[in-house]
Amino acid sequence: MPRLTQNRKTRIAARRSKYVVFLSHSSRDNWIAQVMSERIQSVGATPWIDEKDLQGGDVLVDEIIKGIDACDEALVLVTPNSATSQWVSFEIGAVRAQHKRITPILYSVALESLATMKDVKAIELNGFDDFVKQLKRRITSG
């Protein structure tokens, strides 16, 4: 097992003191995911997003699991791109296995396109501000 550098230990410790939201999305939807990440940050949460949290040479599965382990909840951007992504499906399964809150954000798809989340209340992308308000309440109350 690789040893953590002091810098990485510091980053992990800093994250644990904040409310972390794991953001699952297809790489084809990076722009939307970045905007969502900024909005999550604006209410005091720390987004875990691959563009920021994965580095060259990282073992993807290991780092994704670490991100999910560290998160308080997850957000899944469900688009035609992510509905067929093996990585998004993997991330959904890992979050659900840990019984953590997971919120699908729908953009140009029906929730039925992800069979693994038919039982979860979804929010349309146009209602993302409502999710951000709900997130802020969870952060401040908990």
Tell me if 40 is assigned to some domain: yes
- Taking residues 47-69, report their average pLDDT: 92
Residue 15 or residue 125, greater confidence: 125
Helices 60-70 and 6-16 sit at what angle, rounded to 10 degrees? 40
Overall number of domains in the chain:
1
For the ranges 16-30, 35-49, 91-105, 110-124, which has the lowest average pLDDT? 110-124
pTM (2 d.p.): 0.85
Q: What local confidence, expressed as pLDDT, does residue 48 receive? A: 96
Tell me if 91 is assigned to some domain: yes
Structure tokens at 130: 């409502």
Residue 83 has pLDDT above 50, yes or no: yes
Tell me if 94 is assigned to some domain: yes
CATH of the domain at 56: 3.40.50.10140
Q: Residue 133, Cα to own-chain centre: how many angstroms?
A: 17
Can you give the residue range of the structural domain that contains 127?
16-141
